[in-house]
Amino acid sequence: MFFAKQAPTTSELVSVSLKTLLDLARPAAGLNLKHSAIRAGQSGGYASRFKGRGMEFEEARGYQPGDDIRSIDWRVTARTGEPHTKVFREERERPVFVSVDNRPAMHFATRGVFKSVLAAKLAGLVAWAAQHHGDRIGGQIFTGHVCRELKPQNGKHAVLRFLSAICDQDDDRAEQTVITLEHVLARLMHHARPGSRVYIISDFRGINDQVESHLARLSRHCEVVLIFVYDPLESRLPDKGRYRFTDDRRDVVIDTGDRQRLLKYQQHFTQRLQQLEQIAKKMGLALIQCSTADDPIQRLR
């Protein structure tokens, strides 16, 4: 929301162009989208901790010795009096759903690029990498007042549609609704179909027990990857000095000599990160941390 006066203000540091996101197609080809929290094999080069992932029901046939009893179709069995089992057909493509935070607090930087720019680049890399793997691409972009979803589709046109939506996203302040992280995840559960790989790219401001509950429900049916975006100044203020921040409408001066205020500021960030780490560990999710000063390609690798 705020940026330091002395920070660079060239356009590519504070906003992202469609050309920049299109140029990520080549480096994204080297990303494999496999993460440490994802395990157990499935055809198609992916790994999954869920049974029946990426499968569609095809038919019911007579039970044969060796069939998994968990696949028995009890309705057909009851109707015919003979045991029947469900046969599934594997999907060739997996839906990849990318949720991108573009709320006001993401428009912040003291070094590197704005958090919103970094989030857009991370989303672009994930989208291109998924397209290289033949997956369907969809997503969600949310601002302070608007939340928009794009249904997963395959091909380059799906990536272009998603990237254009990121670049064209405008926060309609005429809207009365204030978009919270809790609201975003509630919508995400309705749009990310079971079997999807879901990336949530955010600074996770507003994380609470309800957000954790939504993540728990989402992770039961989808593979969830959390990408935590932050500016180095958020994790630690300089030891000494007075620093002025502005969003061109309001000014805030922080005196880092005020140790109590400094400690409180750092505790807010630490608590948010620790809560994310605990959630990821408890639910078996992948968690990637990426600073505005980091190279997003290297972080995803």
Q: Where are the domains of the chain?
A: 3-39+92-300, 55-90
- The top-level CATH class assigned to 3-39+92-300 is alpha beta
**Helix ranges (DSSP H) in 246-288:** 259-283
Q: Average pLDDT over the chain, rounded to whole?
A: 83
| CA-wise closest residue to 194 among 214, 158, 218 | 218
Q: What is the pLDDT of residues 156-195, one digit of tens each?
A: 999 999 999 999 877 666 666 889 999 999 999 999 988 8
Q: How far apart are CA 15 and CA 108, in angstroms?
A: 11
Whether pTM > 0.85 for this model: the answer is: no
Q: What is the pLDDT of residue 37?
A: 57
Q: What is the pLDDT of residues 227-280, one digit of tens each?
A: 999 998 887 776 676 766 665 566 767 776 777 777 777 788 899 999 999 999
Q: What is the pLDDT of residues 123-147, one digit of tens each?
A: 999 999 999 989 999 999 999 999 9
Answer whether residue 11 shows pLDDT above 90.
no
For 152, the token pair is 């997963």
Q: How far apart are CA 17 and CA 260, in angstroms?
A: 41
Strands 251-255 and 286-291: unpaired
Q: What is the pLDDT of residues 83-99, one digit of tens each?
A: 988 876 555 568 999 99
